[in-house]
Structure 1
Amino acid sequence: MNAITRRGLLTAAGAGTIVALAPISFAAAATGTATQVVEGHIAPGPTDFLYLPVNVPRGVQQISVSYNYSKPTVPSGTPGNSCDIGIFDARGFDFDGSGFRGWSGGFRTSFSISRTEATPGYLPGDVMPGTWHVVLGPYQVAPQGMDYHVEVTLTYGDPGPRYVPSYPPTKAKGRGRAWYRGDCHLHTVYSDGRNLPADVAAAARAAGLDFIVSTDHNTSASHGAWGPLAGDDLLIVTGEEITTRNGHWLALGTKPGEWIDWRFRARDGVFDRIQKQVHRAGGLCVSAHLYCPWIGAEWKFGFEGLDATEVWTGPWGWDDDAAVSTWANLLSAAVRENKPWLPAMGNSDAHNPTNVIGLPQNVVLADDLSRDAVLAGIRAGRSWIAESSKVDLEFTATSALGRKAGIGERLKAGATEQVTVSVRVGGVPYGTVRILTDEGQMLQGSLDASGAGAVTWLTTPQAAAFVRAEVRHPLADGSAGHTSMDPGLTFGAMAAMTNPIFLGHG
């Protein structure tokens, strides 16, 4: 038994709090299999990751790992045991290193890797000789501690043919400069989802999407499966959801096959370094579901260096309202401090067949349907969020001198020059249209049963530093939603919302 307590902990910058166990070794062989078992106990404490070294000899065709852990009864309200798993090969497990070979979190109890294939979430390739490391991530440890049992099996023999990934192209047919719809937060069986990549692609097409981004948790393993599923009508962009102990974020537009390390906390001081890695590849860094109530999922990193923030995740809920309020405050602070502003995004975070892909979706003004053009549109904030492709919206600001600006742009006008703000909406029966500024809501209008209509408001850059629009559904009943001091201001879940249009010379 390997008893792990607070003593002997190793702390590595950017690798969380880690524990290293004594290695296990296997003898060389020509054929057959060999299995070794490691058992131990993890006491409650600050252990983030436990590394089990495995000395792999030459001639191994496949490495397989299975594990289980104790799940004792805990008092009501106390987290029970939860333990993730992954593996690094002989190239090492250094932070942001090249030895990463897969991660399945707590979604699987076993996995295998060979030169030809691997369990989803893991990377096929040579089972090279040297010291591999099985990684346990005790996400939650009960007051009684956690007993673990790990079995490592090596299969000897011919390595077989090499796996060849099929990455998606970086460009689809498109319509030139146009508004394109996409969902940028999606999961498959390659992490903790139950959808196959083919299921995701089919659902994206059915939802009327033009592009999607693959963001499986902490692994790039699905990237090589998307190639056959892309087409002239659907751009598929590779990415990753980085699941840290202090919040989750999306790396959108990573290089195919590129892996982004997640083994750090906000206090480790490496987030900026990881963001730069994503930016060097031309990708975007986006904070996800800011107020998700799950352990470790609420955002704790701040917003410095981000390219956007996800303010609407899946079906509308209280946490989305909180995220929109936080984002609106960030917009006002950016204006006040004359700093760059942070665009808003909305995504489904769909994992399973019961989740609706494209609820919500980003409608992005891009020069073409290509990876670079779509990411550029998101980065610039030339986008709005819709609950489905049935919702249409047009949002503009026009100065008295005839200048015009759209979402994510700046309308250059004098401080006292009159500006006409217009919102046109379709697809939201009995909806409420709101025009908001850095001072809050300025105008509220209603749509009829057709769901189509327009709202116009007059202002000046002196009165409003920016304008943005929301479209809300009516209340489902009289007991939920938002009511201000004005009893006439009552509305329900979000149907659409825009990034701002800035007014004045800035």
Structure 2
Amino acid sequence: MTDVAMTAITRRGLLAAAGTGTIIALAPMSFAAAATGTKTQVVDGQIAPGPTDFVYLPVNVPRGVQQISVSYSYSKPAVPAGTPGNSCDIGIFDARGFDFSGPGFRGWSGGFRTEFSISRTEATPGYLPGDVMPGTWHIVLGPYQVAPQGMDYHVEVTLTYGDAGAKYVPAYPPTRAKGRGRDWYRGDCHLHTVYSDGRNLPADVAAGARAAGLDFIVSTDHNTNASHGAWGPYAGDDLLIVTGEEVTTRNGHWLALGTKPGQWVDWRFRARDGVFDRIQQQVHKAGGLCVSAHLYCPWIASEWKFGFEGLDATEVWTGPWGWDDDAAVSTWANLLAAAVREKKRWLPAMGNSDAHNPGNVIGLPHNVVLADDLTKDAVLAGLRAGRSWIAGSAGVDLEFTATSAYGRKAGIGERLSAQAREQVTVSLRVSGVPNGTVRILTDEGQMLQSSLDGSGAGTVTWLTTPQAAAFVRAEVRNPLADGTPGHTSMDPSLTFGAMAALTNPIFLGHN
């Protein structure tokens, strides 16, 4: 089957049928019934340059099919310097339909794999085992980038006939581990495996988390829930594993943390489509959190375009520290000041590794959250409340408090009730950052800078009032690459080393 007819679906029709964006539906591919053996069909076509988001290839699957297998390839012509070349993702929906957020989702591997298979017993990582039910399935091509010459694609579909086989039974992780009661727990909430575009197995991620001194992790493979049922064997009394997803849209990525095991979050929408609120409500209804990820990631379609309304937190530090993290922290600091000024809910900050491969450091960075116990609900509640700070490693520790003249005390993510002119003592105790730089910041900017000695430990105090500072927060920076601390705040060439720790704010004064 070649040169298949294409039918464009309008944005309005797509909102009703299969999410949003510009899509193309191809003529269906049909197979005859059989008792045993395999049958293969091929489709070739071209996607023209333009705003196409998805191409849907219908496959009419008869009864008696044991397995469906798909492989694909696409052209990669030379392009002028600075022009994006062809890049195409792939996934599939079963006979229950490809409606937006519907039940038919059966897997997505992005551009990481060129082939996949699904049966009742097993599936290629990224895809969901289960019945190969009769009816119309839809293979989804996602032309991420299309060269000026267009994109020629080739898709092969093979059906294997026979007995369905044993039913797959997922092994979801438990929702609690053996905690220490109300305490500070460390966790990385942005991690990938072979179930999306990572090269780490779930066993590798769990081992890396334990080696990094973490108490919990969240699984966030791109656009699929397929790994959820694989995590059970790797959880334990010492490691809480929480299910989630990185929702990878064409206008930025966000983390759905703490979704129900097996819950899938649709990604087929853009910022202008007006469905983000609805999707966030689905995650919140399941008890999860919505967190914008790597705001200024320079990769195509990765920068954040959805705004911050309805989010539970924003990721300001992703993996090894870079310029984009500095920009994210600056954006977040401005959001804090605006929240105070406009008397709105403030947005907590998070930091995660986004580790994909063996060379990435799990836990660089991670969140240190005050939770009532080491359970999914308690950890998510602590993150939602902003009772957390971000650490570059388990070797970094701190305590950050504000105490009023009358002895009232508040910690990270809390409010210190005090009169406008009442003196407040801000205290930051740090360890694990040799020759580091400590910064105390408010809604007005940096107010104090101090250096740690070679031991990496020290305590810094600063006096203020609620009238002078609506909130206080702290940063701890590593020394510069040459080993020297950051320059003083009076230096016009103000420079700091990479972040070692960053706190959420303590708010001062009455609401």
TM-score over 0.5 for the pair: yes
Amino acid at match of 1:454: T
SS state at 2:279 partner? helix
SS state at 2:297 partner? coil
| Inter-partner Cα distance in structure 1 for 2:403 and 2:8 | 65
Deviations, residues 148-170 of structure 1 (Å, cap 9, x unaligned): 00000000000000000000000
Counterpart of 1:8?
Answer: 8
Amino acid at match of 2:56: Y
Counterpart of 1:94?
Answer: 99
Amino acid at match of 2:125: P
| Inter-partner Cα distance in structure 2 for 1:51 and 1:482 | 56
| Inter-partner Cα distance in structure 2 for 1:130 and 1:389 | 52
| Inter-partner Cα distance in structure 2 for 1:4 and 1:359 | 49
Deviations, residues 449-495 of structure 1 (Å, cap 9, x unaligned): 00000100000000000000000011113999777552695421100
Does the CA-based 8 Å contact 1:194-1:352 persist in structure 2?
yes
Match of 1:499 among 493, 504, 508: 504
Match of 2:327 among 316, 322, 330: 322
Deviations, residues 10-44 of structure 1 (Å, cap 9, x unaligned): 32123321100000100000000000000000000
| Inter-partner Cα distance in structure 1 for 2:489 and 2:227 | 46
| Inter-partner Cα distance in structure 2 for 1:15 and 1:163 | 32
1:110 aligns with 2:115: yes
Does the CA-based 8 Å contact 2:219-2:243 persist in structure 1?
yes
Counterpart of 2:476?
Answer: 471
Deviations, residues 69-128 of structure 1 (Å, cap 9, x unaligned): 000000000000000000000000000000000000000000000000000000000000
1:18 aligns with 2:23: yes
Counterpart of 2:341?
Answer: 336
Counterpart of 2:161?
Answer: 156
SS state at 1:326 partner? helix
Amino acid at match of 1:425: V
1:261 aligns with 2:266: yes
Matches within 5 A, 1:274-353: 274-353=279-358
1:422 aligns with 2:427: yes
Matches within 5 A, 1:151-300: 151-300=156-305
SS state at 2:41 partner? strand
Counterpart of 1:42?
Answer: 47
Counterpart of 2:383?
Answer: 378
| Inter-partner Cα distance in structure 2 for 1:430 and 1:285 | 36
Amino acid at match of 1:440: G
| Inter-partner Cα distance in structure 1 for 2:231 and 2:380 | 19
Does the CA-based 8 Å contact 2:64-2:162 persist in structure 1?
yes
SS state at 1:329 partner? helix
1:455 aligns with 2:453: no
SS state at 1:2 partner? coil
| Inter-partner Cα distance in structure 1 for 2:495 and 2:302 | 31
Counterpart of 2:364?
Answer: 359
Counterpart of 1:81?
Answer: 86
Does the CA-based 8 Å contact 2:479-2:485 persist in structure 1?
no
TM-score (norm 2): 0.97
Deviations, residues 408-441 of structure 1 (Å, cap 9, x unaligned): 0000000000000000000000000000000000
Counterpart of 1:446?
Answer: 451
| Inter-partner Cα distance in structure 2 for 1:489 and 1:393 | 24
Deviations, residues 263-314 of structure 1 (Å, cap 9, x unaligned): 0000000000000000000000000000000000000000000000000000
SS state at 1:150 partner? strand
Residues 442 and 480 of structure 1: CA distance in aligned 2, closer, same or farther (over 3 Å): closer
Deviations, residues 134-185 of structure 1 (Å, cap 9, x unaligned): 0000000000000000000000000000000000000000000000000000
Q: State the Cα distance separating 1:8 from its structure 2 match.
A: 3.1
1:405 aligns with 2:385: no
SS state at 1:375 partner? helix
| Inter-partner Cα distance in structure 2 for 1:366 and 1:227 | 22
| Inter-partner Cα distance in structure 1 for 2:329 and 2:303 | 15
Residues 457 and 484 of structure 1: CA distance in aligned 2, closer, same or farther (over 3 Å): closer
Does the CA-based 8 Å contact 1:86-1:136 persist in structure 2?
yes
| Inter-partner Cα distance in structure 1 for 2:496 and 2:336 | 23
| Inter-partner Cα distance in structure 1 for 2:4 and 2:349 | 47
Residues 344 and 482 of structure 1: CA distance in aligned 2, closer, same or farther (over 3 Å): farther
Q: State the Cα distance separating 1:256 from its structure 2 match.
A: 0.1
Does the CA-based 8 Å contact 2:434-2:454 persist in structure 1?
yes
Deviations, residues 296-335 of structure 1 (Å, cap 9, x unaligned): 0000000000000000000000000000000000000000
Counterpart of 1:125?
Answer: 130
Does the CA-based 8 Å contact 1:64-1:113 persist in structure 2?
yes
Amino acid at match of 1:202: A
SS state at 1:48 partner? strand
SS state at 1:8 partner? strand
SS state at 2:193 partner? coil
Deviations, residues 183-233 of structure 1 (Å, cap 9, x unaligned): 000000000000000000000000000000000000000000000100000
Unaligned runs of 5+ in 1: none
SS state at 1:194 partner? coil
Percent of aligned positions with the same letter in both sequences?
A: 86
SS state at 1:203 partner? helix
Unaligned runs of 5+ in 2: none
Residues 58 and 22 of structure 1: CA distance in aligned 2, closer, same or farther (over 3 Å): same
TM-score (norm 1): 0.98
| Inter-partner Cα distance in structure 2 for 1:388 and 1:480 | 19
Amino acid at match of 2:3: N
Match of 1:431 among 421, 431, 436: 436
Amino acid at match of 1:164: V
Does the CA-based 8 Å contact 1:381-1:408 persist in structure 2?
yes
SS state at 1:491 partner? coil
Does the CA-based 8 Å contact 2:10-2:22 persist in structure 1?
yes
Residues 337 and 3 of structure 1: CA distance in aligned 2, closer, same or farther (over 3 Å): same
| Inter-partner Cα distance in structure 1 for 2:363 and 2:79 | 38
Amino acid at match of 2:190: H
Amino acid at match of 2:465: T
Amino acid at match of 2:324: D
